[in-house]
Structure 1
Amino acid sequence: MNTRLGVLLPTNHHQWDDARRLADFGVRAERLGYDSVWANDTLIGPRIEPLAMLAALAPVTERVTLGTAVLLPAFRRPVTTAQELASVDHLSAGRLVVTVGAGFPGRSEIEYAVSEVPWERRFGRLDDTVALWRALWAGERTYHGKVLSFDELPASTPSYRPGGPQIWLGGASPSALERTGRLYDGWLPYPPDPADYRTGLTAVRHAATSAGRPADAVAPALFVTVLVTDDVAGGERQLDAYCRTTYGLPYETVRTIQAMVAGPAEQVAATLARYAEAGAEHVVCRIAAPTLDAQLDQLELIAGITRPAAGQPSGH
């Protein structure tokens, strides 16, 4: 598989007994040839805050991209977050990618409520927040958007790279596809069918060119839940347990919404290859294993079936 390969750090607190081992997980992924390591964000359930996690990974890794999958900016003060992201960008010497989202209906309303942010106009707020970050990183002192407006901004920490870290969008609704092509640097969805991925990517590229951007302005990526096992039935039971723990929903429901695959190495590799053929150039794997030790085992298995030679970094 010639696509870039990433892995999501274990998210559920049952998956790590010592949070410091999560940094070891990221280092191990880099040594196995993974191209990126990602941290997840939510206020539902205990977990290590993603920007703190990436800041911890920055000095102990050298090559891998460090990303959020996804960050929910509505839960944070936008000016402060711009400084935090610029700081991680500096600590990692420009290896940060920020994938953002607006949350999930039926799940995220409580997160918005405790963050004292209205659920309404959340997509406009998200786009404004990203535009504000870019303005702050560029040294601008005012910002006026549709939802956020500031007549006077403080001098803020500039980003490591001119223009700031790449900002990707997670989502595959028609409006998300249009906004991705028009405003964002990358696309990280999880459609359960590679054909839907191909159709979505076509729409993103059309939106990009309609906005006067190059068709390839948006990096095409995929978020997929993976478990390598020779026991297919047992693997699906593990996926079911994972979905119920993570979402409170059965696997049969989640699989209609998200890309998920459990099975022998050949089956997993073939599934990922179909998404690559549909245009995905960066695959971010979430490992559906219940413990950190099991995740580490899977980390090696996935590297073995997707890298030209396990332990050797692929080209960027």
Structure 2
Amino acid sequence: MTRDVSLGVVAPLSGDQWAGAEPRQLNRLVRAIEDLGFDSLWANDSLFGPRLEALTFLTAAASVSERITLGTAALLPALRRPVQTAQALASLDLLSHGRLIVGVGAGFPGASQREYVLSQVPWPRRFHRLDDTVALWRQLWAGEGPDEFRGATISLEGLPDCIAPATRGGPPVWLAGDTPNARLRAGTGYDGWLPYPPTPKRYAAGLDEVMTAARGTGRAHSDVTPALFVTVLITDASDGGRAALERFTKATYGYPLRIMEQIQTFATGPAEQVAAALAGYVDAGARHLVCRSATLTLGDFHDQLKALQQIHEAFR
């Protein structure tokens, strides 16, 4: 793996993982992740769980860390009011001294539809709503636009001034999505692409579409960060970790592994096998690996963190 590749970890935020733990352990976990040399720390987002809320967690992480990039993988903007969220993200970017990356998505049929209902947001035209929300954020972050916004799904007047983020123009916004339309939108209007295709070949093909779209609007390759969301389990179990992955996917999604591995990226097995799987995506063009540990307890997460750190060091 080349030196221009970053590797980060998704924090364990579910209530089950934190059952019985003291809140101060959260700060120690953030410090441990930074001290182990990881490049980034990520929070996922959902109304179901229960789980620690993503932006609250990242604000706490910003206060006890100095170097590590902080990100959402991925935030569902539809769950929050857009103007208030622009203020929250700008505040987080400011408090973290410009260390924020905002990965966003529109959700998936099924569970995400229930989240939209709970948020009183219509499910139809959700991709237009996502693009409108990001455009509104950027207008507020720039601090130079009109006091109104007119989009396909959002129209607002009397917009307030937004606190200026540390990053000029606002933190980078990455799109988490891997449909043909998502790849087009990632290339033309977002700062990064964060998918989880199940094979390096599909990643490479998708990335080519993203970069072709970027070039078509005059953007350079460097304008769009090619990232990857990957679920990792480092284990010497004789079954390659499939039983543990089965428990994880059923607990997380309610679906068996045989279905999820057709949709998502998994890297499992001994450390050298996981390293080879990650390297395959790097060869396909990925430059920021966002690694989620397939664990259901805080203790198992710590064990996985140490094993992943050794892979990270070997890649440097």
The answer to whether TM tops 0.5 is: yes
Matched, 1:12 2:18: no
User: Which of 73, 76, 88 does residue 77 from structure 2 map onto?
Assistant: 73
State the Cα deviation string for residues 119-156 of structure 1 (Å, max 9, x = none).
01100000000000010111122211111112321112
- Distance in 2 between residues matched to 1:43 and 1:131, nearest whole Å: 24
Amino acid at match of 2:219: R
2:114 corresponds in structure 1 to 110
- TM-score by length of structure 1 reads 0.95
2:162 corresponds in structure 1 to 156
Matched, 1:176 2:205: no
- Distance in 2 between residues matched to 1:105 and 1:126, nearest whole Å: 15
The 3-state SS of whatever aligns with 1:146 is: coil
2:97 corresponds in structure 1 to 93
1:166 corresponds in structure 2 to 172
1:230 corresponds in structure 2 to 236
The 3-state SS of whatever aligns with 1:12 is: coil
Amino acid at match of 2:10: L
Q: Report if aligned partners of 1:16, 1:22 keep a CA contact under 8 Å in 2.
A: no
State the Cα deviation string for residues 176-223 of structure 1 (Å, max 9, x = none).
000000100001100010000000110000001111211331000100
The 3-state SS of whatever aligns with 2:167 is: coil
- Distance in 1 between residues matched to 2:272 and 2:179, nearest whole Å: 31
The 3-state SS of whatever aligns with 2:203 is: helix
Gaps of at least 5 residues in structure 1 are none
Amino acid at match of 1:155: D
1:204 corresponds in structure 2 to 210
- Distance in 2 between residues matched to 1:250 and 1:218, nearest whole Å: 33
Alignment map for 1:165-314 (pairs within 5 Å): 165-233=171-239, 235-308=241-314
Q: Tell me how far 1:230 sits from its aligned partner.
A: 0.8
The 3-state SS of whatever aligns with 1:190 is: coil
Q: Which runs of 4+ in 1 moved over 3 A?
A: none
1:52 corresponds in structure 2 to 56
Amino acid at match of 1:281: R
Q: Report if aligned partners of 1:142, 1:153 keep a CA contact under 8 Å in 2.
A: yes
Q: Tell me how far 1:234 sits from its aligned partner.
A: 6.0
- Distance in 2 between residues matched to 1:13 and 1:49, nearest whole Å: 11
The 3-state SS of whatever aligns with 1:225 is: strand
The 3-state SS of whatever aligns with 1:14 is: coil
CA RMSD of aligned residues (A): 1.2
Amino acid at match of 2:18: W
Q: Which moved more, 1:228-237 or 1:50-59?
A: 228-237
Amino acid at match of 1:280: A
